[in-house]
């Protein structure tokens, strides 16, 4: 939608990942522009999460190339990804349950005093600022995050990504565990971040979410990209048929489409 | 354990509303309820034995002996907390203490004088020996930690292997013999009348302690004010400061009521020409014993590492959720390795106390330490589920177990009987924790 001519801020080329004999991701090429939301959809085991784990450094690719701002980079662990301002909000949230909110926001990137000790007051102060933006009602800064509600925990996980000036944000099922009010909060946040020029990969099972928020949609099937389409050029039904059949609508036979109709 | 605190009745305020307000009041002081409960349990144990023994148990001399007995276990337990918090275990600590104690003994009787040519009166020989012991502990810890963290062999297996093989090495080091005859200065690490601070220094330390408590309270409050965070009510700050200082002064006063034995005082007086013996004999306050000072230092440093440094934050985060720590970009293997290096260093300190008290080393120094150390950490609130445990808690846990053992032996219960009680207390303590956690009343993790 926006910035059509701008170069992608991140590009993954010919990515391959295999677990033992299973080819989880096969020759996938995908890109993302600044201020763009790319929805990543597909059935269970289609390879969406694995592909994004490669970009976030959680699992290195077996082959392929990652480019940030057009330059090839090496991302072999989460620190590398964060160095390139690629932040991830995992489906599991990846919070240390026994640590408080500031501790989690700054985990691995603590603010320290000149002598290298943790500066808890500064971290709490910064966390209060960023949480004020995301969830103004949040007050439990001193409690272990295990005592927080699902929405509050989600806010902590998002605060962690937002605080460190993400350029690229990966959101893996950001609304899966949330109630309706919290879901709409997260949606607003995604629009806000997009408006700030952050590129977002959005993994979701919820076709509504994806259509509502994405500029482009990439459909994965058995580890491969079926197609990447501009949201305005497809209907939700067409996306669903691509997810289930693993073929572009024009490749699918009449019979397959008919069977699909029967199923849905 | 919080039950103990909750159930403490306030005179004249037995109604239910008063109970909730007591809970609120305690909450406002932000005191760790579990730690508070354990402190009360410890005091109750002391009082109980004192009553049973007809008032003989709670004497300065007995308490100092108890503290010295607990110190070695407590020192290692501070490290065991971090190991268990990060979902590992270390069964090799007893053998590590054994091999390092034997190393100290051999260094001072053999290696330093005969091989390195440092005579008995060489200055700081005790420190040289201690440094070598610490380096040895750190090296063995690093080796075990490397196998656990980088090769991925379960810590239970690695340290069980360590338990067996390192104890075997002790035998080879001394060809199966006990070695005795340490430096006089090194022996002071083990406590005793001369291995204590003495009256004036004990008082000086108490003053420093009180100043530190007040300074910490003030700087903490100022820090929170600066950022506009909520602060504790003033009455709570004053209460904590006053109670803390009273405890410090009380302990110092108590330790200074432990006097040198008459024979020793007479001997030293004759050697150093103190002049004529006063009426009623020499009254030389022994003060706090050196092992307790060492423990105090270790507790402060370890608490600082656990709560104020990245290392501690990462260890706790890893224990709470290993995947989260990994995904946050923490080099988790390096942090695990560090916990074992730290264990080696702490074992070296405990070995110094043990060998100094023995004036040498036998083949079984440190035997079964691993069990007492793990028990101390667990009684102190460390959870095998990972991510939960405090260093002051483990120290207190060591003192609770040591006071039980010492008290039982004082009233004539034999060692199997002591073990029965220790085992039951271990299970009860963890049982309390499990129930409390299920009810969600134990909130804090550090």
Which residues does residue A65 pair with via DSSP β-bridges, in sequence order?
Answer: A13
Dist. CA A187–CA A191, nearest whole Å? 6
Whether B311 has a pLDDT exceeding 80, the answer reads yes
**Does A261 score more than 70 pLDDT?**
no
Question: For chain B, first and last CA: distance in Å?
Answer: 16
From the list A96, A118, A124, the residue facing B324 with the nearest CB is A96
Q: Tell me how close the Cα of B157 comes to any Cα of chain A, in angstroms.
A: 27
pLDDT digit string, tens, across residues A97-111: 999 999 999 999 999
Neighbours of B419 (CB within 10 A): 14
Q: Report pLDDT for A263.
A: 58
Q: Is B267 on the interface with A (CB under 8 A)?
A: no
**Nearest CB neighbour to B313, from listed A90, A103, A143:** A103
Q: C-alpha distances in angstroms, A169 versus A158, A259, B34, B124, B262?
A: 10, 37, 41, 59, 75
- In a 10 Å sphere around its CB, with 0-12 CB exposed, 13-18 middle and 19+ buried, how is residue A204 labelled? buried
pTM assigned to the model: 0.88
Burial of B247 by CB count in 10 Å (0-12 exposed, 13-18 middle, 19+ buried)?
Answer: middle
d(CA B186, CA B123): 12
Nearest-by-Cβ selection for A118 from B223, B309, B329: B309
Q: Distance between CA B358 and CA B347 in Å, rounded?
A: 16
What is residue B153's predicted lDDT score, i.e. its pLDDT?
97
Chain B residues touching residue A87 (CB < 8 angstroms): none
Residues from chain A contacting residue B223 (CB–CB below 8 Å)? 121
| Mean pLDDT computed over B320-326 | 94
The per-residue pLDDT for range B113-170, each reduced to its tens digit, is 778 777 777 778 889 999 999 999 999 999 999 999 999 999 999 999 999 999 999 9
Q: Look at A124 and B321 and tell me if their CB atoms are within 8 Å.
A: no
Q: Which two tokens stand for residue A144?
A: 């272990």
Phi, psi of B212 (to 5 degrees): -65, -45
- Taking contacts as CB-CB distances below 8 angstroms, the residues of chain B near A94 are 321, 323-324, 327-328
Q: Which residues contact B343 (CB under 8 A, 6 or more apart)?
A: B76, B79, B80, B83, B90, B93, B96, B137, B141
Inter-chain contact B327–A90, Cβ cutoff 8 Å?
yes
Q: Is the pLDDT of residue A224 over 50?
A: yes
Strand A216-221 and strand A224-230: the pairing is antiparallel
Please report the pLDDT score of residue B278 as a whole number: 82
Q: Which of A57, A108, A121 sits opposite B330 (nearest CB)?
A: A108
pLDDT value of residue B23: 67
The residue-averaged pLDDT of A180-204 equals: 88
pLDDT tens, B204-215?
999 999 999 999
Interchain contact, B329 vs A108, CB within 8 Å: yes
**Cβ pair B330:A107 closer than 8 A:** yes
Q: Domains of chain B, with CATH numbers?
A: 32-192+289-439 (1.10.3470)
For the cut 50, the answer to whether the pLDDT of residue A236 exceeds it is: yes
A-chain CB neighbours of B317 within 8 Å are 96, 98-99, 103-104, 107
Q: Is A215's pLDDT higher than 50?
A: yes
**pLDDT band at B355; cut points 50, 70, 90:** very high
pLDDT of residue A6: 67
The reported pLDDT for the residue numbered B345 is: 98
Q: Which of A102-111, A174-183, B181-190 has the highest mean pLDDT?
A: A102-111
CB pairs under 8 A between A and B: 94
Indicate the SS3 state at residue A165.
coil
Backbone angles phi, psi at A63, to 5 degrees: -155, 165
* Cβ–Cβ contact B439 with A under 8 A: no
* C-alpha A126, offset from chain centre: 24
Q: Residues B376-422: pLDDT tens digits?
A: 999 999 999 899 999 999 999 999 999 999 999 999 999 899 889 88
What contacts B438, CB < 8 A, 6 or more positions away?
none
Arithmetic mean of pLDDT, A253-263: 67
Q: Predicted confidence band at B21 (pLDDT cuts at 50, 70, 90)?
A: low
3-state class (DSSP) for residue A264: coil
CB–CB contact B329 A77 (8 Å):
yes
* B residues 353..382 contacting A (CB < 8 A): none
- Per-residue burial over A211-228, b if 16 or more Cβ lie within 10 Å, else e, is bebbbbbbbbbebbbbbb
Asked if B34 and B443 touch (Cβ cutoff 8 Å), the reply is no
- B413: buried, middle or exposed (CB in 10 Å: 19+, 13-18, 0-12)? middle
| Three-point CA angle B204, B207, B209, nearest 5° | 110
Contacts of A110 in chain B (CB under 8 A): 310, 313
The pLDDT value recorded for residue B270 is: 83
Is A98 in contact with B388 (Cβ distance < 8 A)? yes
Q: Is B277 on the interface with A (CB under 8 A)?
A: no
**Of A57, A78, A118, Cβ closest to residue B313:** A118
Task: Give, for A52, the enclosing helix (H) or strand (E).
Answer: helix A48-55
B227 contacts in A (CB within 8 Å)? 121-122, 124-125
| Identity of the residue in A56, A96, A147 whose CB atom sits nearest the CB atom of B317 | A96
A39 touches A210 (CB < 8 A): yes
pLDDT value of residue B215: 93
Mean pLDDT (chain A) is: 87
**Is pLDDT of B17 > 50?**
no
B308 shares contact with chain A (CB less than 8 Å)? yes
Using CA atoms, how far apart are residues B351 and B346, in angstroms rounded to an integer?
8
Cα Dmax for chain B: 75
CA distance A261 to B416: 77
**Taking CB atoms and an 8 Å cutoff, what residues of chain A touch B308?**
117-118
Q: What is the pLDDT of residue A260?
A: 66
Task: pLDDT band for A262, please (50, 70, 90 cuts).
Answer: low
Query: To the nearest whole angstrom, how far is the Cα of B317 from the nearest Cα of chain A?
Result: 5
Q: What is the pLDDT of residue A79?
A: 92
Q: What percent of chain A has pLDDT over 90?
A: 48
Contacts of B329 in chain A (CB under 8 A): 57, 77-79, 82, 108-109
| Chain A contact probe: residue of B222, B224, B316, B328 with most A CBs at under 10 A | B328
3-state secondary structure chain B: CHHHHHHCCCCCCCCHHHHHHHHHHHHHCCCCHHHHHHHHHHHHHHHHHHHHCCCCCCCHHHHHHHHHHHHHHHHHHHHHHHHHHCCCCCCCHHHHHHHHHHHHHHHHHHHHHHHCCCCCCCCCHHHHHHHHHHHHHHHHHHHHHHHHHHHCCCHHHHHHHHHHHHHHHHHHHHCCCCEECCCHHHHHHHCCCCCECCHHHHHHHHHHHHHHHHHHHHHHHHHHHHCCCCCCCHHHHHHHHHHHHHHHHHHHHHHCCCECCHHHHHHHHHHHCCCCCCCCCCCCECCCEHHHHHHHHHHHHHHHHHHHCHHHHHHHHHHHCHHHHHHCCCCHHHHHHHHHHHHHHHHHHHHHHHHHHHCEECCCCCCCHHHHHHHHHHHCCCCCCCCCCCHHHHHHHHHHHHHHHHHHHHCCCCHHHHHHHHHHHHHHHHHHHHHHHHHCCCCCCC
Helix (H) / strand (E) element for A27: namely: strand A22-32
pLDDT at A132 over 90: no
Average pLDDT over residues B50-60: 91
- pLDDT, position B143: 97
Touching check for B334 and chain A: CB below 8 Å?
A: no
Whether B388 has its CB under 8 Å from any CB of chain A: the answer is: yes
Distance from CA of A149 to the nearest CA of B (A): 14
Write the residue in B327, B328, B445 that is nearest to A144 by C-beta.
B445
Q: Model confidence over A17-66: pLDDT tens digits? A: 998 888 899 999 999 999 999 999 998 888 899 999 999 999 989 999 99
Report CB contact under 8 Å: A97, B321.
yes
Residue with tokens 């085992």: B423
* B319: chain A residues, CB-CB within 8 Å: 98
Higher pLDDT, B313 or A45: B313
Q: Do B320 and A92 touch (CB under 8 A)?
A: no
Q: Got the DSSP string for A185-251?
A: HHHHHHHHHHHTT-EEEEE-S-HHHHHHH-SEEEEEETTEEEEEEEGGG--HHHHHHHHHH-S-TTT
Contact: A96, B327; criterion CB under 8 Å = no
Decide if B61 touches A, using CB distance below 8 A. no
Rounded CA-CA distance B326/B332 in Å is 6
Distance CA(A195)–CA(A41), nearest Å, equals 22
> Once rounded to an integer, what is the mean pLDDT over residues B218-247?
86
3-state secondary structure of A63: strand
* Residue B29 pLDDT exceeds 80: no
> Tens digit of pLDDT for each residue in B420-442?
988 998 898 888 888 877 765 44
Determine the Cα–Cα distance for residues B215 and B271; give it in Å rounded to an integer: 43
Mutate to test the interface with B, among A59, A107, A132, A146 (most CBs of B within 10 A): A107
Residue B217 Cα, gap to closest chain A Cα (Å): 15
Question: Which run of H or of E encompasses A23?
Answer: strand A22-32
How confident is the model over B62-118, as pLDDT tens digits? Answer: 999 999 999 999 999 999 999 999 999 999 999 999 999 999 999 988 887 778 777
The rounded distance, in Å, linking the Cα atoms of A34 and A198 is 6
CB contact under 8 Å between B319 and A88, yes or no, is: no
Chain B residues 215-234 within an 8 A CB cutoff of chain A? 223-224, 226-227, 229
Whether residue A16 contacts residue A61, with contact meaning beta carbons closer than 8 Å, is answered with yes
pLDDT higher than 50, residue B5: no
Express as a percent the part of chain B with pLDDT over 70: 92
Domains and CATH numbers, chain A: 10-85+165-263 (3.40.50.300), 97-163 (no CATH)
The mean predicted confidence, pLDDT, of chain B is 88
Q: Are the C-beta atoms of A157 and A182 separated by less than 8 Å?
A: no
Question: pLDDT at residue A4 above 80?
Answer: no
pLDDT on residue A185? 82
Contact yes or no for B387 and A92 at CB 8 A:
no
């Amino acid at each position: 939608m926006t910035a059509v001519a701008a170069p992608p801020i991140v590009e993954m080329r010919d990515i391959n990942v295999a677990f033992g004999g299973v080819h989880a991701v096969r020759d996938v090429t995908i890109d993302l522009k600044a201020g763009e939301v790319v929805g990543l959809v597909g059935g269970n085991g289609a390879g969406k999460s694995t592909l994004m784990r490669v970009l976030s450094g959680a699992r290195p690719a077996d082959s392929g190339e990652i480019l940030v701002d057009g330059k090839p980079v090496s991302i072999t662990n989460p620190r590398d990804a964060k160095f390139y301002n690629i932040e991830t909000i995992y489906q599991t949230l990846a919070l240390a349950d026994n640590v408080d909110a500031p501790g989690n926001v700054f985990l691995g990137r603590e603010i320290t005093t000149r002598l290298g000790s943790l500066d808890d007051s500064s971290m709490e102060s910064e966390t209060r600022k960023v949480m004020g933006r995301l969830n103004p009602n949040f007050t439990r800064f001193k409690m272990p995050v295990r005592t927080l509600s699902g929405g509050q925990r989600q806010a902590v996980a998002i605060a962690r990504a937002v605080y460190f000036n993400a350029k690229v944000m990966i959101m893996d099922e950001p609304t899966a565990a949330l109630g309706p009010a919290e879901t709409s909060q997260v949606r607003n946040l995604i629009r806000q971040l997009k408006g700030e020029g952050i590129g977002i990969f959005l993994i979701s099972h919820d076709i509504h979410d994806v259509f509502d928020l994405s500029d482009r949609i990439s459909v994965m099937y058995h580890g491969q990209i079926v197609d990447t389409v501009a949201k305005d050029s497809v209907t939700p039904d067409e996306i669903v048929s691509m997810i289930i059949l693993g073929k572009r609508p024009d490749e699918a036979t009449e019979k397959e489409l008919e069977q699909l109709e029967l199923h849905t | 354990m919080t039950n103990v605190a909750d159930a403490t009745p306030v005179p004249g305020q037995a109604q239910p509303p008063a109970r909730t307000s007591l809970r609120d009041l305690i909450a406002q002081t932000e005191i760790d309820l579990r730690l508070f409960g354990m402190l009360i349990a410890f005091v109750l144990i002391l009082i109980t034995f004192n009553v049973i023994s007809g008032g003989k148990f709670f004497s300065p001399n007995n308490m100092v002996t108890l503290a010295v007995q607990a110190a070695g276990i407590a020192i290692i337990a501070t490290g065991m907390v971090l190991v268990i918090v990060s979902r590992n275990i270390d069964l090799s600590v007893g053998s590590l203490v054994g091999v390092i104690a034997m190393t100290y003994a051999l260094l001072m009787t053999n290696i330093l004088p005969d091989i390195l040519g440092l005579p008995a009166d060489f200055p700081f020989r005790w420190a040289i020996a201690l440094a070598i012991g610490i380096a040895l502990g750190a090296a063995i810890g690093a080796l075990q930690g490397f196998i656990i963290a980088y090769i991925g062999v379960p810590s239970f297996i690695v340290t069980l292997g360590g338990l067996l093989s390192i104890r075997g090495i002790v035998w080879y080091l001394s060809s199966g013999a006990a070695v005795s005859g340490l430096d006089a200065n090194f022996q002071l690490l083990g406590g005793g009348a001369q291995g204590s601070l003495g009256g004036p220094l004990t008082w000086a330390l108490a003053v420093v302690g009180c100043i530190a408590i007040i300074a910490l309270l003030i700087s903490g409050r100022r820090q929170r004010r600066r950022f506009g965070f909520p602060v504790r009510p003033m009455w709570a700050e004053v209460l904590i400061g006053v109670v803390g200082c009273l405890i410090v002064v009380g302990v110092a006063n108590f330790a200074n009521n432990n006097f040198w034995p008459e024979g020793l005082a007479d001997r030293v007086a004759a050697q150093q020409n103190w002049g004529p013996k006063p009426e009623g004999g020499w009254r030389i306050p022994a003060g706090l014993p050196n092992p307790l000072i060492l423990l105090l230092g270790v507790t402060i440093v370890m608490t600082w590492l656990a709560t104020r440094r990245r290392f501690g934050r990462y260890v706790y985060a890893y224990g709470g959720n290993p995947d989260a720590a990994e995904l946050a970009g923490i080099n988790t293997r390096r942090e695990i390795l560090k916990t074992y290096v730290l264990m080696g260093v702490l074992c070296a300190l405990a070995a110094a106390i043990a060998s100094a008290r023995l004036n040498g080393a036998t083949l079984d120094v440190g035997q079964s330490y691993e069990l007492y150390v793990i028990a101390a950490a667990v009684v102190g609130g460390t959870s095998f589920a990972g991510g939960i445990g405090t260093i002051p808690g483990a120290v207190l846990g060591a003192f609770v177990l040591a006071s039980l053992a010492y008290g039982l032996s004082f009233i004539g219960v034999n060692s199997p009987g002591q073990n029965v009680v220790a085992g039951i207390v271990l299970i009860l303590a963890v049982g309390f924790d499990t129930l409390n956690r299920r009810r969600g009343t134990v909130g804090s993790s550090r």
